Amino acid sequence: MIWLSVNVADSDNSLLRSKINTSSASWTRPQPSLIKCNVGMAWSNTSGHSGASWITRDTQGLALHHSRRAYPSTSSKREADLQSLFWAVESMWNMRQRNVIFETSSPEVREAILRPDLFRELELHRQNIFCLFNLKCSWSLEHVSAPRNRVAQLIADSVILGSRSQSYISVGGPAWLRHSLDQERRNSA
């Protein structure tokens, strides 16, 4: 947090709490009254297509909703990842979720948020994310290790690897990941 307060402008600092949370190798439950929104991002270097996903879970570890979206073309993985994060944040706002912990394992998102001077071409994406964060919600953004974001990543990967371009929002978790969701829920108890 000290690094963040020194290197991120004051207006951004109040909007974002970014940290690497590697204390656990698997998904962890949010505190009571919060939901956790894990955000997955996938990008194909050859086609420029990207896939985004998010999954929300409650303090009991139960999947509340999940979503998947395809983007036809993005110029870089960093841009695709920021676009995915914005879409997840926008989705939570539209679903009236006001107490959310967003988790992503994307190093590109982390760098773009913490080092905006290096990625000026992505400033609009960054501003759009902060604009939503500035709506006085109890939101935070955390960078976590890949195993803690596994389910969201698998959903995003399915867009690219499985050529699944159908976007949707659904109640609960995806049936094809039920075993993984149940295992993460048990391990987080």
Give percent of the chain with pLDDT exceeding 90.
Answer: 64
pLDDT the model gives residue 92: 95
Domain edges within the chain? 2-187
Span 91-115, average pLDDT: 94
pLDDT in tens, 52-79: 999 999 999 999 999 999 998 888 999 9
Q: What is the DSSP letter of 25?
A: S
Distance from the Cα of residue 83 to its chain's centroid: 10
pLDDT in tens, 121-145: 899 888 989 888 888 778 999 999 9
Confidence of residue 22 (pLDDT cuts 50, 70, 90): very low
CATH number assigned to the domain covering 2-187:
3.30.420.10
Q: Hey, CA dihedral for 125, 127, 128, 134, is it positive or negative?
A: positive
